[in-house]
Amino acid sequence: MTAATPRAEDRARVEPRLAIRDLDVHFATDAGDVHAVDGVSLEVASGEILAVVGESGSGKSVTARSILGLLPETADATGAVLVSGTDVVGLRGARLRALRGEDVSMVFQEPSSAMNPVYPIWWQIGEGLRAHRPKLTRRQIRAEAVEALASVGVPDPEERIDRYPHEFSGGQKQRIMIAMALALGAELIVADEPTTALDVTVQAEILGLLRDVRDRFGTSIILITHNMGVVADLSDSVAVMRHGKVIERAATRELFASPQQDYTKQLLAAVPHLGRNSAWSALPPERQQAIELAEPVVTAKDLVIEYPGRLGRPAFRAVHGVDLQIRAGEVYGLVGESGSGKTTIGRAIAGLERTSGGSLQVLGHEMNGIREKAFRPVRRRIGFVFQDPATSFNPHLTIAECIAEPLVVHEKGLGAAQREAKVQELLDAVELPGAYARRYPHELSGGQRQRVSLARALVLGPELLIADEPTSALDVSVQATVLELFRELQEHLGFAALFISHDLAVVDSLAHRIGVLLRGELVEQGHGPDVLHDPQHPYTRRLIASLPVPDPVEQAQRRARYAEEFGGTAR
């Protein structure tokens, strides 16, 4: 490996790390042939970071998996995929295994599912080492595992190589995945949505790590993502895919400054941008006043939520003395990193977690010590939109049955015809065709399932809606559609809402007031413009500084300011 990134003018004089020529990929399915990739041609130079963007189904992940020969048996690929001069298309067996790891490695989207939960980290890093260098001893493998973890900034690597995946945070697991990709000296890394579910500060760390890997080793990186802020922060060039084709390829600054294709323009326009569309500032003065004078539907005073200790371990306090109010007709945004207590508070408001101390009033009922029988009539007045609707729906029920399920539980007097009419009304409200009522959850896209989740949450006409990270895994254009739908329904129906998210730009565009959680404590709260544009607490300032913005020039300036204010780099 080289010690530094080759200069841009030198890249053209060397063989590209990756050259894709007229790649076509078809899948044989029960419903017929699916043309997933259609004549894609791409090149990635030494030390270049190429971002491949597009909506779900555009073919970007299939293209990425073709580079490592990871397509299923139902796939038929033609064309050429040259990795360091070797054509991967049609490669099988030992020759393909020799290429993986040494020439090209992959960082998968969800490290928790990519790692084996029953083996320690050193064993999992060593798995690739053993496959390529079978004569390595156990001691040598452990030494190389320590070196790999140290290279990606995992603290105390000598001790941590003996831990298991569940003992690491999401950001640490993603670092370990990058360490695995680097362990065999791969000169090309394919990173498939490596920051999708990460908090903004952890995301900044991973982006800084990928940038550092490129700068230190000259590694080429293909970044598959739908986050245009990440693209602006990290990539040298961008390829935009749609319907299996590359419709635009340009240097990152050029593409953001002057996109040529209408689809690219739509993608960029759909990205929420911190400070441009503050929900509170957009309200007319009379609506602001009405919210300020409204009665609270949720009031927490010195709220404590604690989990009892087990096996000799002390109790864990997830929420420490939180004070907050959500008024009728108000959207309250709750932000903070994983483990800050956001979801715990949301679940406590919905009666799904017990409170341990303080007071939590929900729709006039004290939750501290309340019994399930007493709270059940209140639960019908609360809707809940889960982060991943695919796991919150019963796969054996149709969409109509999923939406009608709360009616079956709480409105036993309704007949089948009345439930069907209510389902059709809700499908119209979330802008889905009535024919979708007969489909099953797996037959819908992520954005369509999230709309159904919203319809189910609203079917009983709730006074309070709790939305837990409802758009984190959606493409930017689908996210924009779901957020606009949420905004319209909230304004029309007037329900109060707790919107939980780690995406500050999304919260800014939707929430009237915002609370910032840090390790279970509410360190700052106020109207959106006050909190996000004039933050008082250092943690809030760091959250905002860590958020990548969809503008390469502005993002470079933000990274420099981050280094000046917080020291080091935005890693």
3-state secondary structure of 204: helix
The answer on pLDDT for 483 being more than 80 is yes
d(CA 10, CA 26): 36
Q: 493: domain range?
A: 275-381+462-532
Asked if residue 538 belongs to a domain, the reply is no
Q: How many helices (H) and strands (E) are present in the chain, helices listed first?
A: 25, 20
d(CA 355, CA 381): 20
Q: At which residue do the structure tokens 């250092």 appear?
A: 538
3-state secondary structure of 111: helix
Phi and psi torsions of 239, nearest 5°? -115, 125
Domain termination residue (choose one: 221, 254, 269): 269
d(CA 387, CA 302): 27
Q: Give pLDDT tens digits for 265-289.
A: 988 888 887 777 789 999 999 999 9
CB atoms within 10 A of CB 294: 15
Do 61 and 224 touch, CB atoms closer than 8 A?
yes
Tokens of 74: 């139902």
The pLDDT score that the predictor gives to residue 568 is: 52
> How many domains, in total, are found in the chain?
3
Q: Which of the four pLDDT bands, split at 50, 70 and 90, describes residue 547?
A: confident
Do 501 and 387 touch, CB atoms closer than 8 A?
no
3-state secondary structure of 298: strand
The answer on pLDDT for 133 being more than 80 is yes
Q: What does the pLDDT average to over 246-264?
A: 94
d(CA 35, CA 567): 49
The pLDDT score that the predictor gives to residue 31 is: 66
Do 239 and 64 touch, CB atoms closer than 8 A?
no
What does pTM read for this prediction?
0.79
The residues, ordered by sequence, that sit 6+ positions from 547 with a Cβ below 8 Å of its Cβ are 200, 229, 274, 504, 505
Ordered alpha helix ranges (H), 279-362: 279-282, 285-293, 342-349
Least confident of 8-22, 58-72, 470-484, 498-512: 8-22
Domain termination residue (choose one: 234, 269, 304): 269
Q: Which of the four pLDDT bands, split at 50, 70 and 90, describes residue 208?
A: confident
Q: Give pLDDT tens digits for 387-432.
A: 777 778 899 999 999 999 999 988 888 888 999 999 999 898 888 8
342 closest CA partner among 144, 546, 503, 131: 503
Burial of 364 (0-12, 13-18, 19+ CB in 10 A): exposed
The answer on pLDDT for 562 being more than 80 is no
Q: Which of the four pLDDT bands, split at 50, 70 and 90, describes residue 197?
A: low
What is the percent of the chain where pLDDT is above 90?
A: 42
Beta bridge partners of 52: 224, 239
Which helix (DSSP H) or strand (DSSP E) does residue 528 occupy? helix 528-533
Q: Give pLDDT tens digits for 304-349.
A: 999 887 777 788 899 999 999 999 999 999 998 877 889 899 999 9
- Residue 115, amino acid: M
The residue ranking higher by pLDDT, 226 or 375, is: 375
The residue ranking higher by pLDDT, 520 or 570, is: 520
Asked if residue 497 belongs to a domain, the reply is yes
The residues, ordered by sequence, that sit 6+ positions from 334 with a Cβ below 8 Å of its Cβ are 342, 345, 346, 498, 499, 500, 501, 514, 515, 517
Q: Which of the four pLDDT bands, split at 50, 70 and 90, describes residue 294?
A: very high
Tokens of 139: 């001691």
Instruction: Please check whether residues 358 and 290 belong to one and the same domain.
Output: yes
The pLDDT score that the predictor gives to residue 571 is: 37
Instruction: Please check whether residues 484 and 407 belong to one and the same domain.
Output: no
Instruction: Please check whether residues 128 and 246 belong to one and the same domain.
Output: yes
CA angle centred on 390, ends 386 and 391, rounded to 5°: 70
- Residue 318, amino acid: A
Instruction: Please check whether residues 249 and 357 belong to one and the same domain.
Output: no
Instruction: Please check whether residues 279 and 265 belong to one and the same domain.
Output: no
Asked if residue 85 belongs to a domain, the reply is no
CB atoms within 10 A of CB 489: 19
Q: Which of the four pLDDT bands, split at 50, 70 and 90, describes residue 199?
A: confident
Tokens of 446: 């992520």
Instruction: Please check whether residues 210 and 322 belong to one and the same domain.
Output: no
Q: What does the pLDDT average to over 180-191?
A: 87
Give the largest Cα separation in the chain, rounded.
76
3-state secondary structure of 329: coil
The pLDDT score that the predictor gives to residue 11 is: 44
Do 407 and 460 touch, CB atoms closer than 8 A?
yes
Distance separating the N- and C-terminal Cα atoms of the chain: 23
- Residue 277, amino acid: N
Asked if residue 106 belongs to a domain, the reply is yes
Q: Give pLDDT tens digits for 432-459.
A: 888 889 988 888 877 788 889 889 999 9
Burial of 127 (0-12, 13-18, 19+ CB in 10 A): middle
Mean pLDDT, the chain, integer: 87
Q: Give pLDDT tens digits for 106-120.
A: 888 777 778 888 999
Q: At which residue do the structure tokens 């259609």 appear?
A: 38
Instruction: Please check whether residues 143 and 66 belong to one and the same domain.
Output: yes
Asked if residue 186 belongs to a domain, the reply is yes
The answer on pLDDT for 12 being more than 70 is no
Instruction: Please check whether residues 318 and 170 belong to one and the same domain.
Output: no
The answer on pLDDT for 1 being more than 50 is no
CB atoms within 10 A of CB 260: 13
Q: At which residue do the structure tokens 């015809």 appear?
A: 417
Do 165 and 117 touch, CB atoms closer than 8 A?
yes
Tokens of 481: 């559609």
Do 23 and 40 touch, CB atoms closer than 8 A?
yes
Asked if residue 225 belongs to a domain, the reply is yes
CB atoms within 10 A of CB 73: 6
d(CA 337, CA 520): 10
Instruction: Please check whether residues 136 and 201 belong to one and the same domain.
Output: yes
Q: What does the pLDDT average to over 484-503?
A: 90
Beta bridge partners of 304: 357
Instruction: Please check whether residues 283 and 142 belong to one and the same domain.
Output: no
Instruction: Please check whether residues 290 and 147 belong to one and the same domain.
Output: no
CATH number of residue 254's parent domain: 3.40.50.300
Asked if residue 348 belongs to a domain, the reply is yes
Which helix (DSSP H) or strand (DSSP E) does residue 478 occupy? helix 476-493
Asked if residue 250 belongs to a domain, the reply is yes
Instruction: Please check whether residues 370 and 412 belong to one and the same domain.
Output: no
